[in-house]
Amino acid sequence: MIKSVSLLTRKAELSHEGFVKHWREVHAPLAHAVPGLRRYVQSHIVGERTRPDIPTSEVDVDGIAETWYDDWAAMDRANATSEAKALHADGALFIGRIKSFITEEKVIIPRE
């Protein structure tokens, strides 16, 4: 499995609540149609945690999107589809900035 993790920042003209509403109600249903997308998780930011021993990075993030694919080739195939292109076009309507990472998970404490 391969995973994409994206930090999303809303467009300047949107409130955080407006961003989340569009992301959940309009954008999320489009993801169901993308072939080869194994899992999709939206993490809506509800607060910030800081630590006194480590400085905070100044990053404006309204949400974190996680998508899973079988492998790199499956991710490339999925992103080439018209369904993924529709998903990405919708993202451009409410996402002002994005920073994405491709990751390999190393499970330390598994789910029960």
- pTM comes to 0.89
Per residue of the chain (112 residues), give pLDDT as tens: 899 999 999 999 999 999 999 999 999 999 999 999 999 999 999 988 888 999 888 888 999 999 999 999 999 999 999 999 999 999 999 999 999 999 988 889 998 8
In the chain, where the domains are located:
2-48+60-103
Q: Tell which CATH classification among 3.30.499.10, 2.160.10.10, 3.40.50.300, 3.30.70.100 matches the domain 2-48+60-103.
A: 3.30.70.100
How confident is the model at residue 78, as a pLDDT? 97
Task: For residues 58 and 83, give the distance between their C-alpha atoms in angstroms, rounded to a whole number.
Answer: 34
